[in-house]
Structures are given as C-alpha cells and as structure tokens.
Amino acid sequence: MAKTHQYCVAENWGKGFIEHSESRKIAFCGLPGNVWQVPAHNKDANLWISKVLGAVKTLTEAQAIVDAEINVAQAAWDALSDEEKSNSSRPADIILEE
C-alpha cells in the first residue's frame, strides 16, 4: 500500500515555521517529541521539511519518538494523587499511520 504520510522531527521555532501559503497546500499534524506528520509523495511537503531542516523519520522511528514522549507523560500522570488526576486525563497512546 502506498504511503499516505511521511514524518520528520523539527523544532517549531515560532513565526515562519509554518506559513499560510504552506498550510493551504499541506495538511500538518504536530505530534509529541517535535514529530511532524505531512503528506507523503508531496513536493510542497518535501520543500517544507527542507525549509525547517527536518530530520526525516521512518514510521517506526517516528512512532518510537512519540511513544517515548507519551510514556514519560503517562508515568508523570500515574504518579499524581487522585485529586490531581481529576484535573486531567491519562495521556493516550498515539498510533501513527503509514
């Protein structure tokens, strides 16, 4: 099956990281660990990854980064008191798609 998404790691530096002209062409999804999901086989997405000096990751690599971040957040949440837990929900696993 052809890939629908590709992944990279890039730190959002703020203004200019994603421009309006880019978001009109590319469906972005920011994920834990500075992982970004953008369309695969897409010239505009490839140009954006180059612009932000993104480190391209395979699905497996990106999933591992996201999992590590969520595991830390889950451990932190598990350590909260019951009263503190009532203020939030336990971080949920995120399953990335090809």
Partner 1 sequence: MATYKGIQGFAIQNVTSDPTTVGQVWYNSSNTVFKFYTGVTSSASWASGGNMGTARYIMGGAGTQTAGLAFGGVGLPFPSVGVVNITEEYNGTAWTGGGNMGTAMYSLGGCGLQTAGLAFGGNGTPDRNATEEYDGSSWTNGGNLNNGRNSLGGCGTQTAGLAFGGGPGEGAKTEEYDGTNWTNSSDMSDGRNALSGAGTQTAGLAIAGNGPRTACEEYNGSSWTTGGALSGGGNEYAAGFGTQTAAVTALGQPPPAGQNTTLTYDGSSWSTSANASTPRGRLASGVSSPGSAGVVFGGDNNNTAKNSTEEFTGAILATKTITTS
- In the complex, the smallest distance separating the C-beta of residue 21 from partner 1, rounded to whole angstroms, is 8
Positions in the binding site for partner 1 (CB under 8 A):
12-24, 27-30, 32, 69-70, 73, 76-77, 80, 84, 87-92, 94
Nearer to partner 1, 1 or 86 (CB): 86
- In the complex, the smallest distance separating the C-beta of residue 47 from partner 1, rounded to whole angstroms, is 16
Nearer to partner 1, 60 or 89 (CB): 89
- In the complex, the smallest distance separating the C-beta of residue 13 from partner 1, rounded to whole angstroms, is 7
Query: Beta strand 5-9 with 35-39: parallel, antiparallel or unpaired?
Result: antiparallel
9 residue type, one letter: V
Query: Beta strand 29-31 with 5-9: parallel, antiparallel or unpaired?
Result: unpaired
What are the beta bridge partners of residue 30?
Answer: 36
Nearer to partner 1, 60 or 86 (CB): 86
Beta-strand runs (E) in 10-73: 29-31, 35-39, 55-57
